A and B are shown apart, each in its own frame.
Chain A
């Protein structure tokens, strides 16, 4: 079955109001080109489930695409110690949110992937993550997209110690960016997997953008390196440089200049609007975006060196 689609076709599948999970981790391997395309289409009211997001999720927040976020962390490492739109929107009461820890979100996606309604974890004990809720109990009862409880403490029936039960998530869509994929939906991730495997397998529809479209046979020569079964993947879109300004192991580094530029711009509403016009809604498509950020001269400076997975000579101090 040919799962190949264009970026516009893939983004059009994601209608306003659905829930999404976005692959990657802080400044690495997000499907950022797909996210920009979703913003270009004006999609609204999305629910996002995340663990450690970066400016991928922050862009969606700033663009007003999201109704609710359930996450552990939104920041871009050294470039953005606090993601600017995340901070601005929550301080102004403009975003519904619920906080979890990374291990708790890992357990929630894993439960969803395993077909279980919840998983127990030892994380969040002793933390206000258990005591304080971003979303009021009344709203939880009324909104079918919310789990009935944020989390519950239960005494283990075997050991009598305290356990935390966290509810499964099963997002409508999982959006990934990977190094290689085939038309049949076989994916190859190089470097860390982050939580991409569990996120994909917990979701109803998986859309994967990839740096390189390759023959199925190439990926079948090393089946032990393929962690997501092709029947779980529904759409494949080749998008070279599709994670910029985030990095892709073995392909290219994160872009320190652009991440710093984003963080500075997004500090204010007006700055974010300018950024959006210049780099997201202004450029008609991904090719136009790549020109806007500096074209091949900029991109070549980011390209990973063989044997390293990144560019050891990259100037990383930012702006």
Chain B
């Protein structure tokens, strides 16, 4: 590990996407099995693998198992998910043996809507599911990851319309209605550990599963978070998010995404 001083921290500039990728990557511990979806989750997983979690295993639902990523995949089916991979499998193996078999430590999810209890909508916006105002792509593997990973990390753009009290359609269950509602739905394990947003990080209280603001990104503020959140959010314990280190930024820019596929 290289050392970097406070002075370099203060002079380093970074984008919101870089901040989110770094914060999401820190959610991954070494030697964990990571289920990664398209976009920022791939950036986060690849960054973790190149920094603090060199022995984490990345799995992709289309079949790539344990790659040593050399070029960023643009989708989870991309051939780039097979660089140095241990296996080229398929959906059957990933969803049965890996995910349902209980072998995924952390799954990454995104959503057009994220509600108070971390339920996600990637299916349809508007009151009528059959004739939606906006039709979205659908679950893909998201509902499966949300149900069966040991914990999930959600990455989302923090805007009021995207953070309602309740999602229009619950594609991927989080803590459902809080308390023990998730267990009563038939999901005794799993659930969202963190929502990494453009403004900060939301986590959940044990037991009640009520959300709280754990940290605010540099440049954002608690006032901004409150005004962009459509549900009541306890902000009393919020600290400032540790900014990306020089090491993290260098890995992200020079090794993970030198082609600038996702980085801005």
Binding site for B on A (CB under 8 A): 24-28, 51-52, 71-79, 81-83, 86-87, 90-91, 93, 99-104, 106, 110, 121-129, 131-132, 134, 153, 161-163, 190-198, 247, 249-250, 253-254, 256, 304, 308-310, 312, 316-317
B171 in complex: contacting residue of A86, A129, A192, A195, CB < 8 Å: A129
Q: Is B129 in contact with A100, judged by CB distance below 8 angstroms?
A: no
Which residues between 87 and 137 of chain B lie within 8 Å of chain A, taking CB atoms? Answer: 88-92, 95-96, 99-100, 123-124, 129-137
Q: Given contact pairs A126-B182, A247-B78, enumerate 15 new A-B contacts (beta carbons under 8 Å).
A: A28-B62, A72-B138, A76-B75, A77-B38, A77-B76, A77-B77, A78-B262, A123-B144, A126-B185, A127-B146, A161-B186, A193-B90, A194-B90, A304-B79, A310-B79
B173 contact set on A, CB distance < 8 A: 125-127
- Report the minimal beta-carbon distance from A9 to chain B, rounded to whole angstroms: 29
Which residues between 138 and 152 of chain B lie within 8 Å of chain A, taking CB atoms? Answer: 138-144, 146-148
**Whole-angstrom distance between the alpha carbons of A51 and B140 in the complex?**
7
Chain A residue with the shortest CB-CB distance to B138: A73
- 7 CB contacts below 8 A, A to B, read A72-B141, A101-B139, A104-B144, A123-B143, A191-B79, A192-B62, A309-B82
Q: Is A27 in contact with B137, judged by CB distance below 8 angstroms?
A: no
**Whole-angstrom distance between the alpha carbons of A78 and B37 in the complex?**
11
Q: Is B259 in contact with A316, judged by CB distance below 8 angstroms?
A: yes
Size class of B's contact patch? Answer: 35 or more
**Whole-angstrom distance between the alpha carbons of A271 and B167 in the complex?**
32
B81 contact set on A, CB distance < 8 A: 192
- The yes or no answer to B187 lying at the interface (CB within 8 A) is yes
- Report the minimal beta-carbon distance from A308 to chain B, rounded to whole angstroms: 8
B75 in complex: contacting residue of A78, A101, A128, A161, CB < 8 Å: A78
Q: Is B92 in contact with A125, judged by CB distance below 8 angstroms?
A: no
Given A78-B74, A78-B261, A87-B135, also A247-B187 (CB < 8 A): no
- The yes or no answer to B260 lying at the interface (CB within 8 A) is yes
Q: Is A193 in contact with B100, judged by CB distance below 8 angstroms?
A: no
**Whole-angstrom distance between the alpha carbons of A104 and B182 in the complex?**
19
Given A78-B38, A87-B134, also A124-B82 (CB < 8 A): no
Chain A residue with the shortest CB-CB distance to B126: A91
Chain B residue with the shortest CB-CB distance to A27: B75
B100 in complex: contacting residue of A72, A91, A121, A304, CB < 8 Å: A121
Chain A residue with the shortest CB-CB distance to B188: A161
Q: Is B139 in contact with A125, judged by CB distance below 8 angstroms?
A: no
Chain B residue with the shortest CB-CB distance to A309: B79
A26 in complex: contacting residue of B75, B80, B96, CB < 8 Å: B75
B90 contact set on A, CB distance < 8 A: 192-197
A129 in complex: contacting residue of B38, B95, B143, CB < 8 Å: B143
Binding site for A on B (CB under 8 A): 38-39, 61-64, 70-71, 74-83, 88-92, 95-96, 99-100, 123-124, 129-144, 146-148, 169-173, 176, 182, 185-188, 259-262
Q: Is A193 in contact with B88, judged by CB distance below 8 angstroms?
A: yes
A125 contact set on B, CB distance < 8 A: 147, 173, 185-187
- Report the minimal beta-carbon distance from A52 to chain B, rounded to whole angstroms: 5
**Whole-angstrom distance between the alpha carbons of A138 and B260 in the complex?**
50
**Whole-angstrom distance between the alpha carbons of A123 and B171 in the complex?**
11
Given A73-B138, A90-B135, A247-B79, also A106-B176 (CB < 8 A): no
Q: Is B187 in contact with A192, judged by CB distance below 8 angstroms?
A: no
Chain A residue with the shortest CB-CB distance to B176: A126
Q: Is A316 in contact with B74, judged by CB distance below 8 angstroms?
A: yes
Q: Is B91 in contact with A249, judged by CB distance below 8 angstroms?
A: no
B131 contact set on A, CB distance < 8 A: 90-91, 93
Q: Is A312 in contact with B176, judged by CB distance below 8 angstroms?
A: no
- Report the minimal beta-carbon distance from B137 to chain A, rounded to whole angstroms: 4
- Report the minimal beta-carbon distance from B183 to chain A, rounded to whole angstroms: 10
B70 in complex: contacting residue of A26, A110, A312, CB < 8 Å: A312
Among A24, A153, A163, A310, the one with the most B-chain Cβ atoms within 10 Å of its Cβ is: A310
Among B64, B133, B173, the one with the most A-chain Cβ atoms within 10 Å of its Cβ is: B173
**Whole-angstrom distance between the alpha carbons of A192 and B63 in the complex?**
5
Chain B residue with the shortest CB-CB distance to A100: B139
Given A91-B132, A127-B172, also A103-B137 (CB < 8 A): no
- Report the minimal beta-carbon distance from B187 to chain A, rounded to whole angstroms: 5
Per CB-CB distance, the 4 closest pairs between chain A and chain B, nearest first, are A77-B75, A192-B63, A126-B173, A162-B186
- Report the minimal beta-carbon distance from A289 to chain B, rounded to whole angstroms: 22
**Whole-angstrom distance between the alpha carbons of A259 and B83 in the complex?**
23
B78 contact set on A, CB distance < 8 A: 27-28, 77, 247, 254, 310
**Whole-angstrom distance between the alpha carbons of A104 and B143 in the complex?**
10
**Whole-angstrom distance between the alpha carbons of A77 and B143 in the complex?**
17
